[in-house]
């Protein structure tokens, strides 16, 4: 992100000037590194061209990855001060735009075309593009705010969020002159960028998982062949495909080129000419594209909010036993649960966005994936409970809401896939730090003294009662003492869980899928707990309206989550026989192998 | 005289006394064979004999001997698996007479010979896998009472027998088909159940004009096996191995396998304890898996002695029918077989092959050019 902004700021050919500007920005960074609070800096003017005004760089220097460190029970306490990214002026601009959008999007009378016009008018299609290219140079926090409003029309929400991610990838991936050539066409809003990454699952054993390939033809043009999951194929398409030696590269397919056919949810390419995103590396591409996960979380959250509103409309005019239906405490509790989920998800999204916007070279892939999984997972179950309230009345509306949510939860990639990504990244990070220790644990007879020490050191962990030595409460409002200790407990258990997993499976830990799933879920809960506590503490300290409710919500949420994490890590510690994984897996295997139910009916007999 | 008797009694241990009693009865069992003169040996005539015995004498004298004789003739009449017949035999025993009426009778095996006879009958049922039902229980109750040994045997049987019956993971119908083709299908389905994607086909050798044996072939091949066959190196010959036996209860079916080369083993020289660089996924949303296929041994069909690319059973198990099988496989979606040579290594060919060919082909290898 930071690199991108630098490129935007400096659009001058000569190296010497670039050097000077680079230096200048690093000086700015140096200053901001000293500051504990975000500072409002003067806008920078390029005196050669007065029209060139860029957003100021206010990010703090790079920090260690937050959630990855949590896997080894290292907690960056600075982050418990909820990130504040926007300054007064930016915040006002943002509110104005949001108000303008909201007028159109909250009005059910307006058609989709009206909404599109509003989006164009507020420059939403150009939002992530730099100011010099007639964009808004939007950061992630603003993106989420905009998306919350836009995604009240879900189709538009998905379209815009994909477009934003696509724009960002193009800006970082294309050569500067290529980018300048097409950027004006991209931001008009008529032809959006859609992401074509996912493919069908292989139907034959002889098919690779990822089959789209790109080759250079005789004239030096890249040509793509393959099939992708994509709902819309009338604009630009960002296609991921493999090139020689199994490497991956993204390509931009322009609208109206040859060899593109679209049917249903699939689009297929046959020797389609495409522009390669040659500047960006595979890792950077992954980071840029994973922003779509964060946006997916926002979309899911708005979906849940819609369900909540539908419930409200249903409950308010109805009565039960001569009293309003809304007085039933079961209904109130269900709604309360949904609100907790919404609160936690919203907190973690803005928290993650704060990480992205507040620090240089952010490594927040894991956090974004966690936001997405948290909301998709909790959102679906919470929505099912909510929609059980209207039961079979309001059938159509409920069906639509549920279907949208299911689509969103499965969009991009599956829950399990993301869980694996989270857990393996965490374990990878933990493995680097704990390699020596694990080696000794796995070869106990070579290291008797170490094992003796380890047994002593782990005795509290084995009793499920780690010594709380992080003192998180020092960074939160004092009334949050108990929740902060619960969070501390969870964080401290993570290292033990990683240690258990790695010492049990060694380098093959990547194949212990069910246990990794638990680890990922536990880590996801920890992110949500951190975000919720930080947010509630901030709200209460600065005295926001209803902040005391927020404190209660935070305490409730953390209490529930702590139990979940405790259980998950206990199960990891227990191993596959005690947590019954072994058996669950074998039942599934049996069913898949027999392709039928293997249990006899309860009326069956063996003798008469 | 009385003193002599008393002395003998005192000298004998009480247990010996009991055993002696059994011994003497065992020895005096005279086999009475009313079954020998029946011209037709089937269930109907068997039941007729039992009816005749019941009607002959109101006291049913010699019923224990009769039951033993009847039990020994069951296989001859082909009724050893028929619950109804066993019931008819139990029904021969008189009702009510053997039920103990006091605690001593109950404790010291009332009517031991008869009880032993009923236990032997139940034992024969167990050996033949016939599960008794609650009617048998009622009959035994009426004959021996709640405390009879046969009842205890019966209850144990009812606990264990259904368990043993369902012990095999491969389900078979309670009565096996008499047709060999159907049997072969069952057998091939059983041995190919490792891969749920296996398709079992029945082909006739008539489809191949050059075939000598006109018979059926039950062939099984899954999609995975087809792919593995396609990827076989063309210069390496495939091998037909067999015949192997598969047992379906008391029936045997012979089958043959077509073996190819196995891909190389997974080479894993990583240190299993070194976790400093655990593999992690690339993390592009929507991108899962890999762009390449593994080129190492990874399917269930790849065994140590080779890759099993197809399995079959033929009506004659002859070499000619196997040749037809290869041609039929080629015809049904395995074009690659026209290029790869196939070797027959039939270790002990059935006798009928020897009659078709002029020489006896034991332990020989002959290459067949396609």
pLDDT tens-place string over residues B157-214: 999 999 998 888 888 887 888 889 999 999 999 999 888 888 999 999 888 888 888 8
> Backbone phi, then psi, for A155, in 5-degree steps?
-60, -45
Q: Which of B96-105, B165-174, B306-315 has the lowest mean pLDDT?
A: B165-174
pLDDT of residue B368: 41
pLDDT of residue B6: 64
pLDDT of residue B355: 34
> Backbone phi, then psi, for B248, in 5-degree steps?
-115, 100
d(CA A259, CA A224): 9
Distance from CA of B253 to the nearest CA of A (A): 23
| pLDDT surpasses 50 at A36 | no
d(CA B302, CA B229): 11
Identify the band that residue A308 occupies on the pLDDT scale cut at 50, 70 and 90.
Answer: very high
* Contact yes or no for B151/B141 (Cβ under 8 A): yes
d(CA A236, CA A186): 8
Distance from CA of B193 to the nearest CA of A (A): 8
Based on the number of CB atoms within 10 Å of its own CB, is A90 exposed (0-12), middle (13-18) or buried (19 or more)? middle
CB < 8 Å to A365, chain B: 283
* Contact yes or no for B147/B106 (Cβ under 8 A): yes
Give the one of B162, B227, B283 whose C-beta lies nearest to A205's C-beta.
B227
| pLDDT surpasses 90 at A585 | yes
Q: Provide the β-strand partners of residue B257.
A: B241, B311
What residues contact residue A208 under an 8 Å CB cut-off, 6+ apart? A202, B289, B290, B291, B292, B293
d(CA A213, CA A269): 10
Identify the band that residue B230 occupies on the pLDDT scale cut at 50, 70 and 90.
Answer: confident
Identify the band that residue B370 occupies on the pLDDT scale cut at 50, 70 and 90.
Answer: very low
Using the structure block, give the residue that is written with the tokens 């290219």. Answer: A133
Contact A408/B at CB under 8 A:
no
The model's pLDDT over A325-345, given as tens digits with 9 standing for 90+, comes to: 999 999 999 999 999 999 999
CB < 8 Å to B131, chain A: 606-607
| pLDDT surpasses 70 at A381 | yes
pLDDT of residue B349: 53
Distance from CA of A275 to the nearest CA of B (A): 19
Pairwise CB contact (< 8 Å): A206 & B230? yes
Identify the band that residue A149 occupies on the pLDDT scale cut at 50, 70 and 90.
Answer: very high
The number of residues in chain B equals 370
Pull the structure tokens for residue A592: 């898949």
| pLDDT surpasses 70 at B362 | no
Pull the structure tokens for residue B33: 């064979």
CA distances from A435 to A114, A211, A421, A466, A499 (A): 58, 36, 20, 22, 10
For residue B164, give the chain A residue with the closest CA: A606
Whole-number CA gyration radius for chain B: 32
Distance from CA of A281 to the nearest CA of B (A): 12
Percent of chain A with pLDDT over 90: 53
pLDDT of residue A18: 47
Q: Mean pLDDT in chain B?
A: 83
pLDDT of residue B38: 76
A-B interface: how many C-beta pairs under 8 angstroms? Answer: 139
- Highest mean pLDDT (candidates A33-37, A42-46, A169-173, B8-12): A169-173
Cis peptide before B243 (omega within 30 of 0): yes
Q: Which of A357-371, A546-560, B37-51 has the lowest mean pLDDT?
A: B37-51
In a 13 Å sphere around the CA of A460, the CA atoms on its Cβ side amount to 9
Give the pairing of strands A248-253 and A193-196.
Answer: unpaired
The model's pLDDT over A343-354, given as tens digits with 9 standing for 90+, comes to: 999 999 999 999
Helix (H, G, I), strand (E, B) or coil at A83: coil
Helix (H, G, I), strand (E, B) or coil at A268: strand
Give the one of A197, A282, A438 whose C-beta lies nearest to B273's C-beta.
A438
Contact B169/A at CB under 8 A:
no
d(CA B215, CA B184): 13
**Helices and strands in chain B, H and E counts:** 13, 8
Helix (H, G, I), strand (E, B) or coil at B194: coil
pLDDT of residue A136: 86
| pLDDT surpasses 70 at A10 | no
Give mean pLDDT, residues A406-431: 90
Q: What is the dihedral angle through the alpha carbons of A350, A354, A356, A359, rounded to the nearest 10 degrees? A: -170
> Backbone phi, then psi, for A168, in 5-degree steps?
-60, -45
CB < 8 Å to B126, chain A: none
Identify the band that residue A383 occupies on the pLDDT scale cut at 50, 70 and 90.
Answer: very high
The model's pLDDT over B326-350, given as tens digits with 9 standing for 90+, comes to: 999 998 888 888 888 888 877 655 5
Contact A607/B at CB under 8 A:
yes
pLDDT of residue B360: 36
For chain A, what is the largest distance between any 2 Cα atoms, rounded to a whole number of angstroms? 99
d(CA A2, CA A140): 13
The model's pLDDT over A230-252, given as tens digits with 9 standing for 90+, comes to: 887 788 999 998 888 778 889 99
Distance from CA of B272 to the nearest CA of A (A): 5
Give the one of A293, A417, A592 whose C-beta lies nearest to B288's C-beta.
A417
| pLDDT surpasses 60 at A1 | no
CA distances from B36 to A278, B33, B61, B74, B81 (A): 96, 6, 20, 12, 20
* Contact yes or no for A590/A598 (Cβ under 8 A): yes
Contact B275/A at CB under 8 A:
yes
Identify the band that residue B29 occupies on the pLDDT scale cut at 50, 70 and 90.
Answer: low
| pLDDT surpasses 70 at B20 | no
d(CA A151, CA B271): 50
* Contact yes or no for A526/A70 (Cβ under 8 A): yes
pLDDT of residue A410: 82
Pull the structure tokens for residue A63: 């920090």
For residue B131, give the chain A residue with the closest CA: A607
Give mean pLDDT, residues B299-320: 88
Give mean pLDDT, residues A200-229: 85
* Closest to B240 in 3D by CA, of B302, B157, B331, B309: B309
Identify the band that residue B292 occupies on the pLDDT scale cut at 50, 70 and 90.
Answer: confident
Identify the band that residue B262 occupies on the pLDDT scale cut at 50, 70 and 90.
Answer: confident
| pLDDT surpasses 60 at A570 | yes
Pairwise CB contact (< 8 Å): B275 & A420? no
CB < 8 Å to A428, chain B: 277-280
Q: Annotate A493-550 with DSSP letters as a single string.
A: HHHHHHHHHHHHHGGGGGG-HHHHHHHHHHHHHHHHHHHHHHHHHHHHHHT-TTHHHH
* Closest to A266 in 3D by CA, of A237, A241, A230, A239: A230
CB < 8 Å to A510, chain B: 278-279
Residue B102 CB coordination number (10 Å) = 8
The model's pLDDT over A51-108, given as tens digits with 9 standing for 90+, comes to: 456 777 788 899 999 999 999 999 999 999 999 989 898 899 999 999 999 999 888 8
| pLDDT surpasses 80 at A49 | no
For residue A606, give the chain B residue with the closest CA: B162
Q: What angle do CA A475, A478, A484 make, to 5 degrees?
A: 65
d(CA A458, CA A456): 6
pLDDT of residue B90: 94
Give mean pLDDT, residues B354-363: 36
Pairwise CB contact (< 8 Å): B133 & A607? yes
Which DSSP symbol is given to B296?
A: S
Helix (H, G, I), strand (E, B) or coil at B344: strand
Identify the band that residue A43 occupies on the pLDDT scale cut at 50, 70 and 90.
Answer: low
* Contact yes or no for A348/A370 (Cβ under 8 A): yes
d(CA A206, CA A35): 58
What was the ipTM of the complex prediction?
A: 0.75
For the full predicted model, state whether its pTM sits above 0.90.
no
Give the pairing of strands A266-276 and A260-263.
Answer: antiparallel
Identify the band that residue B361 occupies on the pLDDT scale cut at 50, 70 and 90.
Answer: very low
Cis peptide before B36 (omega within 30 of 0): no
Contact B291/A at CB under 8 A:
yes
Give the one of A206, A209, A507 whose C-beta lies nearest to B275's C-beta.
A507
| pLDDT surpasses 80 at A5 | no
Identify the band that residue A14 occupies on the pLDDT scale cut at 50, 70 and 90.
Answer: very low
d(CA A560, CA A582): 27
| pLDDT surpasses 90 at B283 | no
Q: Provide the β-strand partners of residue B308.
A: B259
| pLDDT surpasses 60 at B367 | no
Among B285, B293, B294, most A C-beta atoms within 10 A, so best to mutate, is B285
Give the one of B193, B278, B292 whose C-beta lies nearest to A509's C-beta.
B278
Which DSSP symbol is given to B42?
A: S
Give mean pLDDT, residues B239-256: 89
Give mean pLDDT, residues A544-572: 95
* H or E segment to which residue B238 belongs: strand B238-248
* Closest to B148 in 3D by CA, of B120, B106, B117: B106
Contact A424/B at CB under 8 A:
yes
Q: Mean pLDDT in chain A?
A: 87
* Closest to B202 in 3D by CA, of B213, B182, B216, B188: B216
* Contact yes or no for A338/A304 (Cβ under 8 A): yes
The model's pLDDT over A502-536, given as tens digits with 9 standing for 90+, comes to: 999 999 998 899 999 999 999 999 999 999 999 99
Give the one of B162, B275, B285 whose C-beta lies nearest to A607's C-beta.
B162
């Amino acid at each position: 992100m930071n690199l991108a902004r630098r490129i935007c700021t400096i659009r001058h050919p000569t190296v010497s000037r670039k050097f000077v500007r680079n230096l200048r920005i690093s000086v700015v960074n140096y200053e901001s590194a000293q500051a504990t609070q975000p500072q409002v800096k003067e806008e920078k003017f390029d005196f050669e061209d007065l029209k060139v005004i860029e957003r100021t760089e206010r990010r703090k220097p790079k920090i260690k990855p937050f959630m990855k460190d949590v896997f080894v029970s290292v907690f960056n306490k600075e982050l418990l001060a909820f990130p504040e990214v926007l300054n007064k002026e930016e915040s006002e601009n943002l509110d104005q735009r949001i108000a303008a959008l909201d007028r159109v999007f909250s009005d059910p009378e307006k058609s989709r075309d009206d909404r599109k016009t509003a989006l164009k008018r507020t420059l939403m299609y150009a939002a992530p593009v730099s100011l010099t290219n007639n964009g808004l140079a939007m950061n992630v926090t603003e993106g989420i705010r905009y998306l919350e409003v836009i995604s009240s029309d879900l189709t538009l929400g998905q379209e815009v969020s994909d477009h934003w991610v696509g724009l960002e990838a193009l800006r970082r991936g294309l050569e500067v002159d290529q980018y300048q050539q097409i950027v004006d066409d991209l931001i008009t809003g008529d032809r959006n960028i859609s992401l074509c990454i996912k493919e069908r699952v292989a139907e034959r054993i002889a098919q690779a998982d990822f089959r789209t390939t790109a080759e250079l033809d005789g004239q030096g043009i890249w040509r793509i062949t393959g099939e992708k999951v994509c709902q819309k194929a009338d604009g630009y398409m960002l296609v991921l495909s493999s090139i020689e030696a199994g490497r991956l590269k993204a390509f931009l397919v322009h609208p109206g080129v040859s060899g593109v056919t679209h049917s249903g949810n699939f689009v297929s390419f046959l020797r389609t000419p495409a522009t390669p995103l040659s500047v960006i590396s595979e890792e950077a591409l992954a980071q840029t594209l994973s922003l779509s996960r964060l946006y997916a979380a926002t979309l899911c959250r708005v979906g849940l909010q819609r369900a909540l509103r539908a419930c409200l409309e249903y409950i308010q005019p109805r009565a039960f036993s001569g009293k309003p239906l809304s007085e039933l405490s079961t209904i109130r509790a269900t709604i309360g649960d949904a609100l907790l989920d919404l609160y936690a998800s919203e907190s973690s999204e803005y928290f993650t966005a704060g990480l992205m916007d507040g620090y240089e070279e952010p490594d927040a892939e894991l956090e974004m994936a966690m936001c997405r999984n948290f909301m998709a997972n909790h959102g679906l179950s919470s929505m099912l409970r909510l929609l059980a309230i209207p039961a079979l009345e309001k059938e159509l509306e409920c069906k639509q809401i549920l279907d949208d949510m299911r689509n969103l939860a499965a969009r991009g990639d599956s829950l399990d896939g993301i869980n694996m990504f989270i857990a393996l990244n965490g374990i990878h990070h933990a493995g680097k730090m704990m390699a020596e220790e694990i080696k000794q644990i796995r070869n106990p007879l070579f290291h008797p003294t170490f094992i003796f020490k380890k047994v002593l050191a782990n005795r509290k962990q084995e009793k499920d009662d780690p010594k709380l030595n992080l003192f998180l409460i020092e960074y939160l409002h004092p009334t949050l003492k108990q929740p902060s200790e619960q969070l501390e407990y969870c964080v401290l258990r993570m290292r033990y869980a990683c240690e258990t997993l790695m010492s049990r499976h060694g380098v093959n830990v990547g194949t212990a899928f069910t246990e990794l799933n638990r680890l990922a879920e536990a880590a996801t809960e920890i992110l949500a707990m951190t975000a919720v506590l930080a947010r509630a503490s901030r709200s209460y300290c600065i005295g926001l309206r209803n902040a005391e409710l927020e404190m209660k919500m935070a305490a409730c949420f953390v209490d529930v989550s702590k139990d979940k994490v405790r259980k998950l890590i206990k199960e990891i510690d227990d191993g596959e026989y005690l947590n019954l994984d072994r058996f669950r897996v074998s039942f599934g295997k049996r069913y898949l192998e027999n392709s039928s139910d293997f249990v006899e009916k309860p009326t069956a007999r063996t003798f008469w | 005289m009385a003193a002599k008797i008393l002395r003998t009694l005192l000298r004998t241990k009480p247990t010996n006394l009991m055993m002696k009693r059994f011994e003497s009865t065992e020895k005096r069992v005279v086999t009475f064979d009313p079954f020998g003169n029946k011209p037709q040996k089937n269930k109907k005539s068997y039941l007729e004999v039992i009816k005749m015995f019941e009607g002959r004498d109101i006291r049913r004298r010699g019923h224990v001997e009769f039951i033993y004789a009847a039990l020994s003739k069951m296989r001859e009449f082909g009724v050893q698996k028929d619950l109804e017949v066993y019931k008819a035999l139990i029904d021969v025993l008189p009702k009510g007479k053997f039920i103990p009426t006091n605690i001593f009778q109950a404790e010291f095996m009332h009517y031991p010979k008869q009880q032993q006879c009923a236990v032997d009958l139940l034992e024969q049922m167990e050996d033949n896998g016939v599960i008794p039902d609650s009617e048998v229980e009622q009959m035994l109750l009426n004959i021996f009472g709640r405390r009879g040994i046969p009842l205890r045997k019966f209850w144990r049987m009812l606990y264990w027998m259904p368990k043993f019956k369902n012990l095999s993971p491969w389900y078979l119908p309670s009565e096996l088909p008499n047709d060999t083709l159907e049997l072969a299908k069952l057998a091939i389905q059983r041995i190919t159940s490792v891969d749920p994607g296996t398709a079992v086909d029945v082909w006739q050798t008539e489809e191949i004009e050059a075939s000598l044996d006109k018979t059926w072939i039950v062939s099984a091949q899954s999609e995975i096996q087809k792919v593995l066959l396609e990827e076989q190196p063309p210069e390496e010959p495939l091998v037909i191995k067999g015949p192997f036996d598969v047992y379906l209860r008391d029936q045997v079916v012979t089958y043959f396998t077509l073996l190819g080369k196995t891909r190389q083993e997974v080479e894993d020289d990583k240190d299993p304890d070194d976790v400093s660089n655990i593999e992690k996924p690339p993390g592009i949303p929507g991108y899962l898996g890999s762009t390449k296929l593994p080129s190492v041994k990874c399917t269930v069909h790849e065994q140590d002695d080779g890759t099993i690319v197809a399995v079959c059973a033929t009506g004659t198990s002859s070499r000619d029918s196997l040749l037809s099988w290869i041609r039929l496989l080629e015809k049904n979606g395995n074009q690659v077989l026209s290029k790869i040579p196939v070797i027959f290594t039939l270790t002990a060919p059935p006798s009928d092959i020897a009659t078709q060919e002029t020489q006896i082909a034991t332990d020989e290898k002959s290459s067949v050019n396609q």
